[in-house]
Amino acid sequence: MLPLFGAMAYLTYAERKVIGWMHMRHGPSHTGPWGLGQPLADAVKLMFKEYVIPTGAAGVIFLVAPMMVMVFALMAWPVIPFADGWVLADINLGVLYLLATSSMGVYGVLMAGWASNSKYPFLGAVRSGAQMVSYEVSMGLCLLTVILLAGSMNLSDIVRAQADMWYVIPLFPMFIVFIISILAETNRAPFDLPEAEAELVAGYNTEYGSMGFALFFLGEYINMIMMSAFTALMFLGGWLPPLDIAPLNWVPGIVWFLGKTALILFVFLWTRATLPRFRYDQLMRLGWKVFLPATLIYLVAVAVAVKLLGVGAAVI
């Protein structure tokens, strides 16, 4: 957990720096050398702010909601293999477990919006629930194509099955859909409609401050890191090098895995710096009218290839 919290803290620093460079600004630069103390300053500020509970809020649910978002974000990590054999729980249904835990975080968001007893947080929570459900469908179909090729739902087995070819090559359209879906799943720009400041003030977390807000923040960024790691495992060969030749195979597996995760995280930051926010009707149309039929068609095509051409799971 401690390395994860450190990575999350400095991901916020990296985000502000990367977006600053892309926008020709400096980003954090005054808190410590090169601004490296900024995440620590933010943490101290949030810890010592007063925790205010609105008079009309449902007190217990209001307090529990941020904890739920944080806990479910952490629960996914035991099944993530960082290298060959470097996994806390090497379970056979690792993909299903990750989908389940990432889906549960929406309950904390819904509880927070309802318990605040305020219209803007409630509207943001409803938006978030609809958005997460919509894009989990296309995410699941993308993952089914990987499972068909690998013949397993064990994350380590899926990585080993990519020893000859990373799945990003035969499943490139699904890889693109998956990247867009995880942006929507983690409420990141351009799909950050639950937190749309222009019309919702701040969305489901409007009434939260101090450590309540910090827990939402932690949950969101830890989910970003988890989804990036998940993408690296499913499509980019996890801890495997691009080619099994020297000197590439001299590099430890965990270095490859962390590098691929960092690359996907950079895509998160790059997207936020580049694209404007979608309208909500555009968001829903993309999920249900474009991604759902496209992923279904591609899933059928992969299933036919596995069955008739003897590739993927049929060979295994």
Place of tokens 């993952």: 143
Q: What is the pLDDT of residues 203-258, one digit of tens each?
A: 788 888 888 889 988 998 999 999 999 999 999 999 999 888 878 888 998 999 99
State the virtual CA torsion across 75, 153, 136, 67 in degrees, nearest 10: 0
Q: What is the 3-state secondary structure (H, E, C) of the chain?
A: CHHHHHHHHHHHHHHHHHHHHHCCCCCCCCCCHHHCCHHHHHHHHHHHCCCCCCCCCCHHHHHHHHHHHHHHHHHCHHHCCCCCCCCCCCCCCHHHHHHHHHHHHHHHHHHHHHHCCCHHHHHHHHHHHHHHHHHHHHHHHHHHHHHHHHCCCCHHHHHHCCCCCCCCCCCHHHHHHHHHHHHHHCCCCCCCHHHCHHHHCCHHHCCCCHHHHHHHHHHHHHHHHHHHHHHHHHHCCCCCCCCCCCCHHHCCHHHHHHHHHHHHHHHHHHHHHHCCCCCHHHHHHHHHHHHHHHHHHHHHHHHHHHHHCCCHHHCC
Question: Which tokens sit at 181?
Answer: 């879906």
Q: What local confidence, expressed as pLDDT, does residue 200 receive?
A: 65
pLDDT band at 173 (very low <50, low <70, confident <90, very high): very high
Does the structure show a pLDDT above 70 at 143? Answer: yes
Question: Which tokens sit at 110?
Answer: 């819904």
**CA–CA distance, 123 with 289 (Å, rounded to integer):** 23
Does the structure show a pLDDT above 70 at 24? Answer: yes
How far, in whole angstroms, is CA 195 from its chain's centroid?
Answer: 16
Does the structure show a pLDDT above 60 at 314? Answer: no
pLDDT band at 315 (very low <50, low <70, confident <90, very high): very low
pTM score, whole prediction = 0.91
- Mean pLDDT lowest among 55-64, 194-203, 223-232, 285-294: 194-203
Q: What local confidence, expressed as pLDDT, does residue 37 receive?
A: 93
**Among 236, 218, 234, 227, which residue's Cα sits nearest to residue 191?**
227
Mean pLDDT of all residues in 252-266:
95
Question: Which tokens sit at 167?
Answer: 């799945």
Mean pLDDT of all residues in 307-311:
77
CB-CB contact of 93 with 153 (8 Å) = yes
pLDDT band at 312 (very low <50, low <70, confident <90, very high): low
Q: Which amino acid is at 213?
A: F
Helices (H) and strands (E) in the chain, counts: 12, 0
Query: CB atoms < 10 A from the CB of 173, how many?
Result: 15
Q: What is the pLDDT of residues 27-60, one digit of tens each?
A: 899 988 989 999 999 999 999 988 888 888 888 9
